[in-house]
Each structure stands twice: as structure tokens, then as C-alpha cells.
Amino acid sequence: MVAVDDYIPELGEGHPDQPVPESRVLIIMTGGTICMRPSPAGLVPARDFQDQCLARVPTFNDGSITTMMEVVTSGEGEIKPHPSLRTPMTAYGRRVRYTVFEFDELLDSSSIDAKGWAEIAQTIQRNYTLFDGFVVLHGTDSLAYTCSALSFMLQNLGKPVILTGAQAPMLELQNDATDNLLGSLVVAGHFMIPEVCLYFNNKLLRGNRSTKVAASDFDAFDSPNCPPLAVTTSMRTNVNWEIVNRPKSIEHFSIQTNLDTTHVACLRIFPGIKPEMVDAVLKLDGLRGLVLETFGAGNAPHGQDNAMTKVFADAISRGIVIVNVTQCLTGSVNPVYAPGMSLSKAGVVAGLDMTTEGALTKLSYLLALPGSTPRLVASRMSVSLRGELTESSQPVFRHPDGALPERVQALTVLGYAIAQGDLARVEEIIRSEHHWLLNDADYSGNTPVHLAATSPSINILEFLLLEGGSVHIRNRNGRTPLFLAANAGLSEHVMLLRKSGAHLHSDERTAAQLLARRRPGVWGLAGIGPREVSERELEEAGDGYRAGSQWTMMAGSAP
């Protein structure tokens, strides 16, 4: 077995007999400088971005015949065909087909709020099964907040969501818009990074770790406490797979849209700040959570006779969650000094190395979850939900060289263990620090999840999914694990995959429909054919995927 490179393994370079594969990406335009044009009132967002800014540029349009892409445009499931464009062949031997979906109102991002975030989340959810990845175009001013908010709102995300913008408009002669958008399209169309990310100035940052650090430099964003997930060079985009976060539960992609942004606030401590000022903020009508930006490792003045500490303790006893983040660009809140200690004794939660943007949006997300209590919210604020904080900094000892041979070897051994149904061996290999193996691929582009989709042991498939293996990657023939499981007639595997959010890719549907004529039962479970089993039915079946035969019967006939 050879470790094919890290891109979504599908038909690729070196396979001259195969047609050039295409990825499908939806670009969601919300506004921002990237699409702006001058007006008497200054720069304002302008419509028709695809025609005005992309259609005439050879790097965004290979000149092939325009085909239509279906986009779900409303909550009622209304589908509108949108003309698509296609990039020329990338360094990875594929093209990216995309279309731009523009919001009704294009915003300067300084005016976006939780309603706008919900609109983005809903657009992604409605179109989730139609595209391989999503690019969101957005102003840079509040981009880090939107990235952080979306990272929490998009639950069990299995596909890349890349946000970007620009410091200079696309139609400006010297701009950063071209590189930022092209880089985002390539990432969304090639790499199965199931995270909300921010792509800017050739770097892919984890969205909820990012912050805007420059008002006009092209290098406008950084994630000071987290290395970039990927960096684009003149040769290629290098992904740091070891730090990519993956969903680790057998659940569908879902969204949580109602963030409680109206009952949270942010307060920066400064020398001389008075307890009365802090008290006034903490007594704001309806306040439920406060992000406190403190000095250094999490210190705040305790005030004359501990008056400040008392203000915090009183607010916490009234049920307000107070989260401590540092004003410093790097480092973590760590109660080592007496002032920091007294804050944590008063019940202030350590936000560790979260950004203010991350802490504020996470607080709003947790406060809005059904059944949230101050105690529950406080305890989850110090735990990583989407890689937004570093829980502990234990040293990891690792052999510095030999990564490639080790990788190839481990993938081969893993492939055998899966084929033989040897769960214990699979667990041993994956757990001994080989998480990056999960989305790696063999010479046919099959990932471990592809192999497990037809493994004699369903427990192996379940294990790999719970470890974060992706259900959306396609092999060199363009097949998803779900297709392979259905084609092998394995109902249990099909149901488990679907419960994990798997769906057939639109390119697979025609073949699947033909195959479904012979085996309607199992293909129905995969979502194709006369008796298509819906996600809700699977949900209601609970752990019913264990009872494969019952579902096979419901779906029409035996596999």
C-alpha cells in the first residue's frame, strides 16, 4: 500500500484513462471588501460577483461550457439552478466547479450579528449534501467572530467550511482577494478538513483560534496559540493533518442557530479600573455571561479590601458565568499569581488560551443550548469542543524523522487488520498515535473507512467513525464508503454510515440508481430507490442499525 498524498483521494494525476475529476464547492457571498466597489458614500458591497469578478479571469474560469448547479435557496427547500464556473486543473489533477450564492442583503461585516451567522449556517445545512465543501466570503472586520461562532454552530461538521475576505476589493488592481479566494477554493475542493477555517494570505487557520491583527496589511490574521492547519507555497498546500480536528461521534451534521449574544458582554481590565464599573456591567439587565480580558496569565486587581473579587463572587452567585481570557496575544490563563488565584477561587472560569472572539461566541452558544445551567456552561467553557483551546500542554515525545516509512508501514498493517476484522489490532494501531492514518489512502484512494465499509467486523467501522474517520472522502473511482457498503449488500454497515452523516455523492447517484434495481433493499437504506429511508427514520431507529434485517425488510426486499 502506498500513502497517497493528503488530498481528497479521488481520480488524480497519473491516471490518464480516467476523466478529470471535479469537486463541487458552494461559495456563499455575505459581503465585505472583497466584493466592494466605490460609491459617493465610500466603498460599498456590490452584487453579481461571479459575473463581474470571476467569469472573466482565467484562473477562476477554464472557459468550459457553463453548466447549472442546483442550490437550495430557502428553508422550504426551494431549489434554484445557478450557472457554475470551473477552475483550470489544479496541481492535484482536479478541477473545482463552483457557483456563487449571494445573500439578499450584502453587508459590511461590522454590521453582522447572530442573525447573519444563522443565515450562513442554514445555507450550509440546506446544501450540505450537494457540495464537497463551502467557501464563505465575508468582510474582515468581524471575520474572526463569525468563524468562531460558526465553529460552534455547525455540529458534527464533516466537510470543509472555509471563510475568507480581502483587504482590497477584487476589482482593485493590486488586491489580495484573488489569492485568498483561489486558495480557499483549492482547500475546500481538495482537502477533507472538517473544520470551520479562515484562509488568508496563504495560511489556513483554525477559525475559532483566529484574530484580526492588522487593519490594512495583507497578512491580516493570525492564530497565535495554534499553528496554521495548512500553508500554501509556490509548490503546493501543505496540510498539518496531525492537528486537524474531526467530529468523533456517530451523529449527523446539524446546526444550532440561536446563539445568545444579547446576554453576554466583554470587559477589558485596565490599571485603575474601579470595582463599581465592573459591578455596573455585571448588573446589566439580563446579563448571563461575561468575558473578562485580564492581564498576563489571568490577573486582575482585587481592589481595596478585595472589593473587586467580591464583585465577581457576587455576580457568580447570581448565576452569571465569568470567563477569564488574557489580553496577551499568546499564552494561557493560568492561576499562578495571587490575583489570578483569587479570581479562580471566586468562581471565575479559566478560559485558558481561547481568543476573546472564541470565548464570547462559545459562551453565547453554550448559554443557548437547551437545558443549560450556569454550572454546566462554566464546566464546558474550560473543555475543548472544537479545538478552540488547549486543554493541557503535556510534552509529547516523538521520533523526529522517519515519518514517511512509518506512515506507509502503519497504513499497510492497518489495511490487513481491517480486512481480517481484527478490531483489537486496529485499535492498537490507531491509538498508538496514528490518528493521521484515518483519512490517509491506499493506491486506490481507499481510506481506512472505505476498507471498514466492507470489513467483516462492523465494530471496526464504528470504532473508526468514533475516532473521527471521514465518511465523505471518495476513492479514485469517486466512490464513498457508503457506496461500497451498499454495493457489498451490507445493510448494517450502510445504516451505521448513514447515522454518521454519510450520503451518496451526486456523481454516484446514477450508478446507485441502476444498482438499486437489483438490490432495492440495501440501496434504499443508502438513500436511493423506490423506498428511500430518510435520516429521520434512521434517527428514530436509534441503535437500530444493529438490527439490519428489520430495516432491510422495511426498505423493500432482502439485499
For residue 379, state whether it binds ligand ASP (rule: CB under 6 A): no
Segment contacting ligand ASP by CB under 6 A, of 139-147, 328-336, 492-500, 548-556: 139-147
DSSP codes of every residue in 63-86: -PPP-EEEEE-STT--EEEEE-EE
For residue 202, state whether it binds ligand ASP (rule: CB under 6 A): no
For residue 139, state whether it binds ligand ASP (rule: CB under 6 A): yes
Q: Could you tell me what percentage of the chain is helix, strand and coil, using 3-state DSSP and rounding each to the nearest 5? A: 40, 20, 45
- Sign for the CA dihedral angle at 342, 348, 350, 356 comes to negative
**Interstrand relation of 196-200 and 289-294 (parallel, antiparallel or unpaired):** unpaired
Candidate residues 50, 84, 109, 552; the one interacting with ligand ASP per rule CB under 6 A: 109
Residue nearest to ligand ASP (CB): 139
C-alpha cell at position 99: 457557483
Minimum CB distance to ligand ASP, residue 297 (Å): 32
Instruction: Say how many residues touch ligand ASP, by CB under 6 A.
Output: 10
Whose Cβ is closer to ligand ASP: residue 143's or residue 287's?
143
For residue 21, state whether it binds ligand ASP (rule: CB under 6 A): no
Residue 401 contacts by C-beta under 8 Å, 6 or more apart in sequence? none
CB 139 within 8 A of CB 165: yes
C-alpha cell at position 151: 465553529
Whose Cβ is closer to ligand ASP: residue 108's or residue 507's?
108
Separation of alpha carbons 223 and 108, rounded Å: 23
Task: Give the x/- contact pattern for ligand ASP in 419-438, rule: CB under 6 A.
Answer: --------------------
C-alpha cell at position 3: 500513502
For residue 141, state whether it binds ligand ASP (rule: CB under 6 A): yes
Residue 53's closest CA among 169, 163, 167? 169
DSSP codes of every residue in 372-418: --HHHHHHHHTS-SSS-S----------SS-HHHHHHHHHHHHHHHH
Whose Cβ is closer to ligand ASP: residue 35's or residue 525's?
35
> Which residue is catalytic, options 33, 123, 129, 146?
33
Residue 366's closest CA among 348, 395, 352, 386? 386
Minimum CB distance to ligand ASP, residue 217 (Å): 11
For residue 110, state whether it binds ligand ASP (rule: CB under 6 A): yes
Whose Cβ is closer to ligand ASP: residue 220's or residue 350's?
220
Residue 52 CB-density burial (10 A; 0-12 exposed, 13-18 middle, 19+ buried) = middle
Whose Cβ is closer to ligand ASP: residue 72's or residue 112's?
112
33 is catalytic: yes
For residue 108, state whether it binds ligand ASP (rule: CB under 6 A): yes
CB 221 within 8 A of CB 201: yes
User: ∠ at Cα 505 (504, 509), nearest 5°?
Assistant: 70
Report the SS3 class of residue 495: helix
Minimum CB distance to ligand ASP, residue 201 (Å): 13
For residue 140, state whether it binds ligand ASP (rule: CB under 6 A): yes
How is residue 56 annotated by DSSP?
T
Whose Cβ is closer to ligand ASP: residue 139's or residue 160's?
139
Candidate residues 21, 32, 116, 183; the one interacting with ligand ASP per rule CB under 6 A: 32
For residue 167, state whether it binds ligand ASP (rule: CB under 6 A): yes
Minimum CB distance to ligand ASP, residue 421 (Å): 53
Whose Cβ is closer to ligand ASP: residue 160's or residue 165's?
165
Minimum CB distance to ligand ASP, residue 210 (Å): 14
List, by residue number, the catalytic residues: 33
Residues near ligand ASP (CB under 6 A)? 32-33, 108-110, 139-141, 165, 167
